Amino acid sequence: MSNKLRIGIIGTGGIAKAHISAYKKLPYVEIVGVADVIPSKAATFAETEGLTEAASFDSHNELLKLELDGVSICTPNVSHHITTVDALRAGKNVLLEKPMSVTLQEGIEMTQAAKESGKMLTLGFQPRYDPNMKLLQTIVQSGRLGNVYYVETGGGRRRGMPGGTFISKKLAGAGAMADIGCYSLDMALNTLGYPRPLTVSAFTSNHFGSNNIYHPEASNFEVEDFGVAMVRFENDLVLQFKISWAMHMDTLGATMFLGTDAGLKVTPAGIGPWSGVWDGSVGSITLFHDEFGAHTATPIPTIEHKLNLFDQKVHDFAEAVRDGRPAPIPGDQILIQQAIIDGVLRSAESRREVSVELPQ
Ligand SMILES: NC(=O)c1ccc[n+]([C@@H]2O[C@H](COP(=O)([O-])OP(=O)(O)OC[C@H]3O[C@@H](n4cnc5c(N)ncnc54)[C@H](O)[C@@H]3O)[C@@H](O)[C@H]2O)c1
């Protein structure tokens, strides 16, 4: 057996290709196995991807019998829980695709499994690897804004509703809130240092998804295509969060951080029907402050880069496993946003403010 890092892939659909492409660029990694529940899909995938040395399986549990340093979990949301828990219990480190889970309880069990196994559970949020996200965090955490008391974030696609497993309540858990909202939430919360949420008041709708003029699978559309939420945090911080897979509007506005000493406005990059949300990169950053009594707006130059963010996230996982570092984007941190999404759904359904249920 070589002394390379031994990696397995669970789920061989669309996003698995990005994981394979990233691993292939690392000379110290070998992909030793792939698994998919659809009989022989993994074998076909291995062949198409040129993974001549990789064994293929029709069950993730068969794959997990191999000696592996880590697995990428690339299944639909509904299978994140079972595959993650089984992988951790089998002693494998896990890089899990977003969003974390269908239900909050599943997320709790997944982080518990990570703790008990001593193995890594890290989440695949590639926007974190945009250097401009790190710049935002540096600015906000420098204290330059003073006490940050209000944050507004989210965004919307003019049109951009997926289908298949993404629109099934049972298989996806939530719609736009989980699919693209998880990125906005992570951007804002990571910038702020993941404060503790207390309550959520939310509204959701699916006027586009349930209308066959806009969606070919309208009769199967069970999740929200729009959501807005007011989230209260400890220390009198409030976040207004809005997200849309489809709308008659070009943008839901910029992200803003209002502080007692300065404010920060951030716009997403990109144009077109799928732009305007934080699954992409940063367009502009502006600091609003008073200088000698004058209202001043200072553009903060964004960092130009040609990084492939998908590669970055997979490489960070592989390096963390190789070097024995902690999880780059740990499960117990992302559980906080899973708890917010859970609160959004409960609040929207009950039409009232609810407490965010965070495990101790
Ligand atoms: N990070 C990103 O930008 C990004 C982009 C797209 C999708 N995703 C996420 O990746 C996940 C997969 O999305 P996709 O578009 O690749 O889906 P997909 O349907 O193309 O592929 C998923 C594959 O997993 C297989 N599968 C289902 N249950 C399984 C199990 N228990 N064991 C093994 N295989 C199983 C399916 O048969 C399918 O082949 C979703 O959670 C999605 O949210 C992330």
Q: How far is the CA of 123 from the centre of ligand 1 (A)?
A: 14
pLDDT tens for residues 259-300? Answer: 999 999 998 887 776 776 666 678 899 999 999 999 999 999
Judge if the beta carbon of residue 10 lies within 6 A of ligand 1.
yes
Give tens-digit pLDDT for 46-74: 999 999 999 999 999 999 999 999 999 99
Alpha-carbon span 118 to 120, nearest angstrom:
7
Give the ligand 1 atom nearest the CA of 313. Answer: 1
Domain range 5-126+309-330, its CATH number among 1.10.1510.10, 3.40.50.720, 3.40.190.180, 3.40.50.970:
3.40.50.720
pLDDT at 293: 96
- Pairing state of beta strands 55-57 and 29-35? parallel
Please provide the DSSP assignment of 33-61 as one string. Answer: EEE-SSTTHHHHHHHHTT-TT-EEESSHH
Among 20, 23, 10, 119, which Cα is nearest to 318's? 23
Collapse the DSSP code of 256 into the 3-class scheme (helix H, G, I; strand E, B; otherwise coil) and give the result: strand
Q: Say what the pLDDT of residue 1 is.
A: 65
Show Cβ contacts of residue 44 under 8 Å, excluding neighbours closer than 6 positions: none
66 Cα–ligand 1 center, Å: 21
CATH topology for 128-305+339-355 is Dihydrodipicolinate Reductase; domain 2 (3.30.360)
**What are the percentages of helix, strand and coil residues in the chain, rounded to 5?**
35, 25, 35
Distance CA 92, CA 117 (A): 9
Give the residue, out of 20, 36, 80, with the most ligand 1 atoms within 8 A of its beta carbon, to mutate for a pocket test: 36
CA-closest residue to ligand 1 atom 25 = 11
Please give the Cα distance from 190 to 198 (Å, whole number).
17
Closest CA to 51 of 32, 37, 70, 38: 32
Ligand 1 pocket residue status of 74, Cβ below 6 Å = yes
Assigned token pair, 349: 């359904």
User: What's the confidence (pLDDT) of residue 76?
Assistant: 94
pLDDT of residue 68: 98
Q: Which atom of ligand 1 is nearest to the CA of 80?
A: 41
* Separation CA 237–CA 253 (nearest Å): 20
Atom of ligand 1 nearest to the CA of 41: 39
pLDDT of 251 over the 90 cut: no
Residues 107-126 as b or e (16 or more Cβ within 10 Å = b): bbbbbebbeebebbbbbbbb
Is the C-beta atom of 77 inside 6 A of ligand 1?
Answer: yes
Token couple for 10: 């669970």
Ramachandran quadrant class, 69 (left: phi over 0; alpha: psi -120 to 50; beta: rest)? alpha
Using one digit for the tens of pLDDT, what is the confidence trace for 178-237?
999 998 899 999 999 999 999 999 999 999 999 999 999 999 999 999 999 999 999 999
Q: Is 124 in the pocket of ligand 1 (CB under 6 A)?
A: yes
Work out the number of other CB atoms within 10 angstroms of the CB of residue 202. Answer: 27
Three-class SS state of 262: coil
When pLDDT is averaged across residues 79-91 and rounded to a whole number, the result is 98
Distances (CA, A) of 123 to 15, 96, 290: 14, 5, 39
Q: Measured in angstroms, how far is the CA atom of residue 164 from the centroid of ligand 1? A: 11
157 C-beta closer than 6 A to ligand 1:
no
Beta bridge partners of residue 201, listed in sequence order: 230
What pLDDT, on a 0 to 100 scale, did the predictor assign at position 280?
63
d(CA 125, CA 35) in angstroms, rounded, equals 22
Domain boundaries, the chain: 5-126+309-330, 128-305+339-355
Q: Which helix or strand (DSSP H or E) is residue 152 part of?
A: strand 148-156
For ligand 1, the distance from its centroid to the CA atom of residue 177, given in whole angstroms, is 18
3-state secondary structure of 114: helix
Confirm if 54 and 46 have CB atoms less than 8 A apart. Answer: yes
Instruction: Please state, in angstroms and rounded to a whole number, the distance separating the CA atoms of residues 141 and 135.
Output: 10
Check if the beta carbon of residue 345 is closer than 8 Å to that of residue 177. yes
Strand 5-10 relative to strand 29-35: parallel, antiparallel, unpaired?
A: parallel
Average pLDDT, the chain: 95
